[in-house]
Structure 1
């Protein structure tokens, strides 16, 4: 009779042999010498034949100094997929999209055609990651962004992504959203969202890229842009401020200014609805320090601190109110997510407002109630 221990030993050996075959490697493994790693893609239209024109930035791994560099290739096709396949006509290696960081879409395509179709291949294909950034080029073409000069990195896609990641904590001049979140928004009824806007500026005779606010989308079509300063106040309204600087004039001549550094912010939305009129309240509590005092006000006196708070509150309220009115007038969309707030708080109220919501944002009364807490005046001894 065979002992139990012998059976267990035989079974263990059999499992080891099976696993050696099953776990010996990836079935679709590609070596670095067989692939071109894609860093970013820019999408334009070829005006001559109306094909999609793709500018693809790939990592150049041929250098011996260990520093990532970039190469640019161009390809075109009737669809995004065809254009990507056509790139093989001029490449010996296969395009590898798993490390893709940036998708640049031209202003013209975003406004005239929308972006939903452009994302189809990136969603349908399993290779591109779902967290790459999508930006809108404010230049004549999207290509101009990927072919601009980099400042801190050799790869422009990598540089732009890092700028976007840090922006909300440093300047609060744009809003970065991962690709999969945009796809989720596009599936919703009456979707409104924003994407980073990028343009080029001249720096020491070189053309470099610069964040330039946000692009506002209604459904999948570009409606227009908010400047970096307008974007900062937009981020306050939607409770997505994590840092940045606020500068206020302390007199009508706007000669004496003071700058706040933002440490913390919390924006709470609430509303009142009587069946006819909707009123929204924005309670904004911001913790700041005084980073620069461009006047001779004595910051050791409480009455002067109170004066600064009063002026800052008035200016802040006026600028945010002006922005809300501009968005309602120019874009006619619920960019500040008031509808989401009403729906979350009361399905009864939302059921009464939902049917005509596309027109309703124009008639909303908004009361802004900011409050600044100054935790550090930065007194100079």
Structure 2
């Protein structure tokens, strides 16, 4: 569907860009579907663009990727983009960019110097997904090929969007990314794209699109592991699905998979004996998706045990995210500062200059309520006779 839409857009350009005093002919532009920005050792910015080749979108050439990656350097992103236009087929059009990848080298150095271009340019697409590379360059990400879609950027975008089913990364659009970057007292957290099987993967199936990276200001400081990542998503209420694997009642060596169907997440702050407490309330509902024991777990007693195990797992994941933010990074990754500002403005004014320190020393209260809706199509599993 996305490929057909993109092809229609390309055709429409030929129709709407005629008869105008400032028209741009279709053969004078190159449509970028992905942009990557790396920072080189000489402080130059390296900008890569994955460009669509319309002639390769023909059905008889479906086995071949219909894109080509161009790369250019510049002292600024704008300068590098203009240089890209001199080696590609005309000016780079970014109005249909699916994903923007910020290279690891860039995020370590600081991203303020490059974001202005994407915020200022009138062609920028606010729904573009923003990720950062991990262990490889942004150019390496754009160079990976797809065996599932002739446009690799669309394949990557689909994987990112489907991550809601496993809750292993964060989906952030360019619009929300800029909003979060400019938010007073907020710290940026981005999803990562790394190498899953080799130092320089050739195919998208070899990429690892999972995990998060935390920022302090405009600089990335550390990665969140899978447990911390899902804990962060619980706190922020950004989980839409996923699987919880817990020990089976009566046999800790056997496992049980629970599907997350619905959650309600609420963040709050309160003062107890004049001390700040950070509060997270979670309500979760799910189904039994798989069990390894032959015991009937549909009884009220068994279901209560399962709900308690889910409760413990969710609490531990949230606790891991808090420990990472408070004790290791000492940075408020969750926007609790905003809650304090709105609820206790006088207090926040007193501690605003040292908010991260206050955040790191605050107590945490985690309240989790879980419920099992059903056991699927069966109650008790099949038992060998």
Whether TM exceeds 0.5 here: the answer is: yes
1:335 counterpart SS class: coil
1:309 counterpart SS class: helix
Cα gap change, 1:26 to 1:342, in 2 (>3 Å) = farther
1:246-325 correspondence to structure 2 within 5 Å: 246-250=244-248, 254-274=252-272, 276-325=274-323
Q: Distance in 2 between matches of 1:377 and 1:350?
A: 47
Q: Distance in 2 between matches of 1:318 and 1:351?
A: 32
Does the alignment pair 1:33 with 2:31? no
Q: Larger Cα Rg: Structure 1 or Structure 2?
A: 1
TM-score (norm 1): 0.85
1:35-54 correspondence to structure 2 within 5 Å: 35-47=29-41, 49-54=42-47
Q: Distance in 1 between matches of 2:137 and 2:208?
A: 15
**For the Cα contact (< 8 Å) 1:283–1:368, is it kept in 2?**
yes
Offset at residue 301 of structure 1 (A)? 1.4
The residue that corresponds to 2:123 in the other structure is 127
Q: Which range is displaced more, 122-131 or 250-259? A: 250-259
Offset at residue 375 of structure 1 (A)? 0.5
1:153 counterpart SS class: coil
TM-score (norm 2): 0.85
The residue that corresponds to 1:97 in the other structure is 94
Offset at residue 50 of structure 1 (A)? 3.5
Q: Distance in 2 between matches of 1:280 and 1:358?
A: 13
CA deviations 1:336-379 (Å, max 9, x no partner) are: 22222222333244334434312011111112111111101122
In structure 1, the gaps of 5 or more residues are 1-23
**For the Cα contact (< 8 Å) 2:231–2:319, is it kept in 1?**
no
CA RMSD of aligned residues (A): 2.4
1:1-381 correspondence to structure 2 within 5 Å: 25-47=19-41, 49-63=42-56, 65-66=58-59, 69-111=66-108, 113-168=109-164, 170-202=165-197, 207=203, 208-250=206-248, 254-274=252-272, 276-378=274-376, 379=378
2:140 counterpart SS class: helix
Q: Distance in 1 between matches of 2:289 and 2:216?
A: 37
Q: How many residues align?
A: 355
